[in-house]
């Protein structure tokens, strides 16, 4: 307490003494303003009950009670002890705080003086003293607990952030409240938080969380949640975007298709920001939708994945050759090549079933000379991987005859992460209703053998 506070309190207590009418007679008996009969001693005031401790949420109103008997002409005052401030004396409000008022119960046998505090604030917490201005002042205390629900300070907390893949990121969340809130972190999709390569958790406690060498898998929304037992619990959503240059996966780089058939070529891209995706011929001319071509791009999950398709109709001799799928974004660009060569059509036509029928998939290396490639900036078509290595999605090349009689799934890889794109199977769409397994196997064997033979012939020519 500084000297000024002492002077203020001293002056206020002098005022208290001035307001009282108590005096001491010549025989040292305590007298009131109205002289009693000779030799009669007036009883001094006493507290009849304790001041109850009160807990109240901020913003509410509260009332503290001080009960006294035998008050006579003495006065009751209220003080905020921590602030060294006299609030009220008897019926008078001393403080300039407009939220403070005082009342008393006149009809109570023992007078009760009520201190009212409206719209309670956190600074109102602390000890409150009720005092009677007897010669030796009598006092008692009650405690006001003010609880404040948690609040997240946006100015001291992280906002949405964009970072490059491989960098370190620290997310901060500062919360205030009484009691001091506890802060925990979760991912919005309930997946694990990757703290580092060896530690992943569903929840992280603390006002900050550091993500080391962040990857595209860490992209998404993070929630900081603050709670202190006082409702409501609050949260802040922080979006983390991870930028990286495009990468391409090509399921099949070498595809055989007969004349007059239709073909669908596929590329899978990953990029953030989302890449500009398109197809070109080997001479660099961009392919646009027409009677010959139709392009499709389907955004997968997560959103940085895209499935590119190029449909080529009624294959002619001029359509054979190399096609490129290209992906560009502000972080870089890459492309991958797919070569179409002529092959012998199937010798047996299937009949139409009443419903779609599933056949066994063809795998790379099982009678086919298919391959697939992984491309990223700086890795050209030379980075080809022959069939057998696993990739995150189920990939297919569809071969459809000129009458759209069937399509085939030629490759299926690692189903452990196949959520992003649906795997494809062979479907029979038209023809006769007979659908025996023997017919299917015969068709598949014929198709595999004819394609392999065609490829061997072409290789021997070259």
User: Alpha-carbon dihedral of residues 11, 16, 19, 23, nearest 10 degrees?
Assistant: -110
Q: What is the pLDDT of residue 77?
A: 97
Per-residue pLDDT band for 345 (boundaries 50, 70, 90) equals confident
- What count of Cα atoms within 13 Å lies in the side-chain half-sphere of residue 179? 5
Topology agreement, domain 3-32+42-146 and domain 245-461: yes
Long-range contacts, 100-105 (Cβ 8 Å, 24+): 102/78, 104/76
Does the structure show a pLDDT above 50 at 437? no
Q: What is the pLDDT of residue 418?
A: 32
Per-residue pLDDT band for 43 (boundaries 50, 70, 90) equals confident
Segment 299-318 mean pLDDT = 96
Q: What is the pLDDT of residue 105?
A: 84
Count other C-beta atoms under 10 Å from residue 299's C-beta: 12
Segment 21-33 mean pLDDT = 38
d(CA 105, CA 68): 11
Segment 141-167 mean pLDDT = 97
Q: What is the pLDDT of residue 35?
A: 43
SS3 204: strand
Does the structure show a pLDDT above 70 at 22? no
d(CA 397, CA 413): 13
Determine if the peptide bond prior to 123 is cis (ω within 30°): no
Does the structure show a pLDDT above 50 at 440? no
- Which range is least confidently modeled, 3-12, 159-168, 329-338, 415-424? 415-424
Q: What is the pLDDT of residue 447?
A: 43
- For the segment 71-81, what is each residue's pLDDT rounded down to a tens digit? 888 999 999 99
DSSP conformation letters of 78-129: EEETTTTEEEEETTEE-S--TTEEEEEETTSSSEEEEEEE-S--GGG-EEEE
Q: What is the pLDDT of residue 349?
A: 53
What sign has the CA pseudo-torsion 344, 349, 353, 358?
negative
Are 286 and 276 in contact by the 8 Å Cβ rule? The answer is no
Q: Where are the domains of the chain?
A: 3-32+42-146, 153-232, 245-461
Q: What is the pLDDT of residue 412?
A: 28
Nearest to residue 220, comparing CAs of 301, 141, 324, 311?
301
Segment 346-354 mean pLDDT = 53
Mean pLDDT score of the chain, rounded to an integer? 76
Percent of the chain predicted with pLDDT > 70: 66
Q: What is the pLDDT of residue 111?
A: 87
Fold of 245-461: Immunoglobulin-like (2.60.40)
More confident residue, 322 or 374: 322
- For the segment 354-375, what is each residue's pLDDT rounded down to a tens digit? 333 232 222 223 334 444 455 5
What strands lie across the sheet with 100-105, from one edge to the other? 46-47, 62-69, 111-117, 100-105
Does the structure show a pLDDT above 80 at 13? no
Does the structure show a pLDDT above 70 at 180? yes
Diameter over CA atoms, the chain: 142
d(CA 243, CA 215): 9
Q: What is the pLDDT of residue 236?
A: 98
Q: What is the pLDDT of residue 106?
A: 72
d(CA 230, CA 182): 11
**For the chain, what is the radius of gyration of the CA atoms?**
42
d(CA 223, CA 203): 10
Tokens of 169: 């990121």
- Which range is least confidently modeled, 302-306, 329-333, 349-353? 349-353
Buried b (16+ CB within 10 A) or exposed e, 379-404: eebeebeebeeebbbbbbbbbbbeee
Q: What is the pLDDT of residue 41?
A: 65
Choices 3.40.50.10800, 3.40.50.1000, 2.60.40.10, 2.60.40.60: CATH for 3-32+42-146: 2.60.40.10
Does the structure show a pLDDT above 50 at 448? no
Per-residue pLDDT band for 109 (boundaries 50, 70, 90) equals low
More confident residue, 412 or 104: 104
- For the segment 216-233, what is each residue's pLDDT rounded down to a tens digit? 999 999 999 999 999 999
- For the segment 229-275, what is each residue's pLDDT rounded down to a tens digit? 999 999 999 999 999 999 999 999 999 999 999 999 999 999 999 99
Choices 3.40.50.300, 2.60.40.10, 2.160.20.10, 3.30.70.360: CATH for 153-232: 2.60.40.10
Does the structure show a pLDDT above 80 at 407? no
Q: What is the pLDDT of residue 386?
A: 34
């Amino acid at each position: 307490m500084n000297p000024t506070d002492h002077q203020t309190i001293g002056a206020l207590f002098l005022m208290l003494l001035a307001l009282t009418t108590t005096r001491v007679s010549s025989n040292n008996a305590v007298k009131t303003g109205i002289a009693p009969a000779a030799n009669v001693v007036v009883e001094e005031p006493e507290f009849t009950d304790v001041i109850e401790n009160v807990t109240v949420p901020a913003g509410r109103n509260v009332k503290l009670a001080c009960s006294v008997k035998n008050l006579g002409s003495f006065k009751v005052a209220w003080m905020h002890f921590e602030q060294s401030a006299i609030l009220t004396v008897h019926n008078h409000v001393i403080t300039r705080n407009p939220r403070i008022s005082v009342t008393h119960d006149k009809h109570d046998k023992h007078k009760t003086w009520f201190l009212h505090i409206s719209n309670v604030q956190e600074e109102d917490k602390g000890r409150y003293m009720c005092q009677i201005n007897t010669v030796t002042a009598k006092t008692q205390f009650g405690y006001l607990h003010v609880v404040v629900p948690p609040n997240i300070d946006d100015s001291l907390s992280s906002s949405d952030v964009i970072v490059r893949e491989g960098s370190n990121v620290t997310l901060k969340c500062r919360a205030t409240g009484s009691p001091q809130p506890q802060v925990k972190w979760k991912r919005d999709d309930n997946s694990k938080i990757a703290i580092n390569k060896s530690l992943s958790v569903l929840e992280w406690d603390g006002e900050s969380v550091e993500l080391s060498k962040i990857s595209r898998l860490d992209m998404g929304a993070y929630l900081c949640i603050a709670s202190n037992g006082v409702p409501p619990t609050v949260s802040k959503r922080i979006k983390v975007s991870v930028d990286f240059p495009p990468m391409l996966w090509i399921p099949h780089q070498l595809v055989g298709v007969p004349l007059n058939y239709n073909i669908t070529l596929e590329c899978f891209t990953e990029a953030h920001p989302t890449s500009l995706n398109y197809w070109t011929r080997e001479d660099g001319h961009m392919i646009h939708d027409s009677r010959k071509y139709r392009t499709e791009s389907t955004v997968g999950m997560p959103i940085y994945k895209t499935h590119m398709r190029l449909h080529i109709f009624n294959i002619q001799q001029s359509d054979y050759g190399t096609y490129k799928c290209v992906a560009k974004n502000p972080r870089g660009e890459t492309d991958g090549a797919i070569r179409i060569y002529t092959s012998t059509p199937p010798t047996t036509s299937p009949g139409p079933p009443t419903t779609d029928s599933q056949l066994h998939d063809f795998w790379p290396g099982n009678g086919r000379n298919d391959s697939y490639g992984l491309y990223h900036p700086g890795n050209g078509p030379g980075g080809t991987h022959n069939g057998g290595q696993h990739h995150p999605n189920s990939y297919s090349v569809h071969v459809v005859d000129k009458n759209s009689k069937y399509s085939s799934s030629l490759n299926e890889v690692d189903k452990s992460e196949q959520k992003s794109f649906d795997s494809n199977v062979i479907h029979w769409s038209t023809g006769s209703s007979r659908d025996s397994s023997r017919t299917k196997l015969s068709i598949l064997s014929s198709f595999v053998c004819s394609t392999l033979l065609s490829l061997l012939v072409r290789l021997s020519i070259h």
